[in-house]
């Protein structure tokens, strides 16, 4: 028996008598037309005569007649292929889209006329308000671990610091930054940072203010270290200072600046940026070693007494602090003798060796202080003077002042201003 294989559906069926290779037939199963490429002979005989789907049984009258009857099967209706159906669907969708776009463009004016008189809504998003109770707390960094200490000179006598990030996290702190920050006898122009450098308080992580002295310096050297939260644009800082020119002969990129709105001695100085988050402003132009030196790995280059008071005495640490040490303040800072102080106060300064003053802003602001005198007698004199000056009494309502029993040279103070 001769069989024909359909290439469209892989079905096999008996070949009509007289069919030859090259004749186009219609498959009994799928209805697709195909050209006969091969006739296969099988050993099994057909159980019945072959009958086409249209009910016509071919008869082998003549090869030519059979071939014409086989070709006549092409006139039977055929099913559309999947590709043709998909093409028709895409064509209809494209026509609908084009019709809708055309209609929308032609009726813009009519639709806009219907919108007249309608008050527009404010689509601007309201400002994000962060609940202080749910806001993550600011990480507290001990003063001795501040990154800006690496840029200070080793012979620093007095050092003041403000962790602006922590100060802005409290209401009293934000108010304090609107005016010059007074820490004991030292006034820090924190509010001038933006007019000097263009940096907003929100961009600053901490500020350090160092004072250097010595027998050879009647006027102390002032160094300001500004450490930002993110990398800063140094070119924008230079434009903010206006009167800036490159300092000739310097090993690093150092600029000289003048401040039109500054107050003496903060009117003229040097500016540098050792890295992308640090600014150094030096108001002692005769010495470039501080700005040209590489930063120290840690704060170990500072005097041992200064590091000790910052590490062991300033507890609990505060975001605003002042510390200093000198074995002889008249030699370290000769300008102190020109301060308008009484003779007993000059004597107290002469007996002072190390001190630290810091402020806690949580709740009601509280002042803390640690003083070390030349001996136990000087420490007792400090206690009498501060008790009378601050109006402290035995009740301890406004604060207390005690002498360290283990180290009688140390005096500890806690004070709450009214």
> What is the residue-level pLDDT of the chain in tens, covering all 418 positions?
788 888 888 888 888 887 888 888 888 888 788 888 888 877 654 444 444 545 554 444 344 444 555 555 545 556 677 788 888 899 999 999 999 989 888 888 888 777 766 665 555 555 545 454 555 667 888 999 999 999 998 888 999 999 988 888 776 666 666 666 555 555 555 666 777 778 888 889 999 989 887 666 667 788 889 999 999 888 888 877 767 788 777 778 888 887 766 666 667 788 888 889 999 888 765 566 777 778 888 888 999 999 999 999 998 888 889 999 998 888 887 767 667 777 888 888 889 999 999 988 877 788 899 999 999 999 999 999 888 888 888 777 888 899 999 999 999 999 888 7
pLDDT the model gives residue 284 = 63
Distance (Å, whole) CA 398 – CA 390: 9
H-state helical runs in 164-294: 164-167, 171-176, 193-197, 234-241, 289-292
Torsion over CA: 238, 240, 242, 243 (sign):
negative
pLDDT the model gives residue 12 = 84
Q: What is the pTM of this model?
A: 0.63
pLDDT the model gives residue 60 = 43
Distance (Å, whole) CA 22 – CA 36: 5
Q: Dig out the tokens for 355 from the structure.
A: 């001190």
pLDDT the model gives residue 380 = 92
Q: Pairing relation of β-strands 352-360 and 320-325?
A: antiparallel
Distance (Å, whole) CA 176 – CA 186: 15
pLDDT the model gives residue 48 = 45
Distance (Å, whole) CA 2 – CA 44: 9
Backbone angles phi, psi at 312, to 5 degrees: -105, -25
pLDDT the model gives residue 409 = 93
Strand residue runs (E) in 61-176: 156-162
């Amino acid at each position: 028996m001769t069989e024909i294989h359909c290439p469209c559906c892989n079905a096999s069926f008996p070949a009509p008598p007289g069919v030859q290779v090259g004749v186009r037939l219609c498959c009994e199963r799928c209805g697709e037309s195909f050209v006969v490429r091969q006739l296969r002979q099988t050993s099994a005989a057909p159980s019945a005569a072959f009958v086409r789907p249209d009910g016509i049984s071919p008869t082998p009258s003549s090869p030519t007649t059979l071939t014409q009857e086989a070709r006549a099967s092409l006139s039977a209706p055929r099913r559309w292929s999947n590709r043709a159906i998909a093409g028709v669907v895409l064509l209809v969708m494209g026509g609908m889209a084009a019709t809708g776009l055309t209609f929308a463009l032609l009726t813009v004016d009519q639709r806009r006329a219907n919108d007249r008189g309608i008050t527009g809504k404010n689509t601007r998003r309201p400002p994000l308000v962060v609940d202080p109770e749910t806001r993550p707390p600011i990480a507290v960094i001990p003063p001795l671990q501040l990154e800006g200490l690496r840029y200070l000179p080793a012979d620093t006598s007095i050092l003041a610091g403000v962790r602006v990030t922590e100060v802005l996290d409290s209401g009293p702190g934000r108010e304090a930054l609107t005016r010059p920050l007074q820490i004991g006898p030292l006034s820090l122009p924190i509010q001038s940072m933006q007019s000097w450098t263009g940096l907003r308080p929100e961009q600053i992580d901490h500020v350090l203010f160092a004072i250097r002295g010595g027998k050879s310096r009647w006027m102390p050297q002032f160094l300001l270290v500004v450490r930002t939260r993110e990398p800063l644009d140094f070119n924008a800082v230079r434009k903010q200072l206006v009167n800036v020119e490159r300092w000739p002969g310097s090993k690093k990129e150092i600029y000289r600046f003048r401040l039109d709105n500054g107050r003496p001695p903060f009117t003229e100085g040097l500016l540098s940026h050792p890295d992308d988050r640090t600014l150094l402003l030096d108001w002692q132009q005769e010495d470039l070693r501080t700005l040209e030196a590489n930063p120290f790995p840690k704060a170990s280059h500072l005097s041992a007494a200064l590091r000790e008071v910052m590490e062991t005495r300033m507890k609990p640490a505060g975001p605003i602090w002042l510390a200093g040490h000198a074995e002889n303040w008249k030699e370290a800072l000769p300008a102190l003798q020109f301060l308008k102080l009484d003779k007993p106060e000059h004597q107290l300064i002469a007996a002072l060796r190390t001190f630290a003053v810091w402020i806690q802003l949580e709740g009601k602001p509280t002042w803390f202080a640690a003083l070390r005198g030349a001996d136990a007698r000087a420490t007792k004199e400090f206690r009498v003077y501060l008790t009378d000056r601050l109006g402290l009494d035995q009740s301890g309502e406004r604060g207390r002042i005690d002498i360290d029993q283990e180290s009688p040279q140390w005096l500890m103070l806690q004070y709450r201003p009214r």
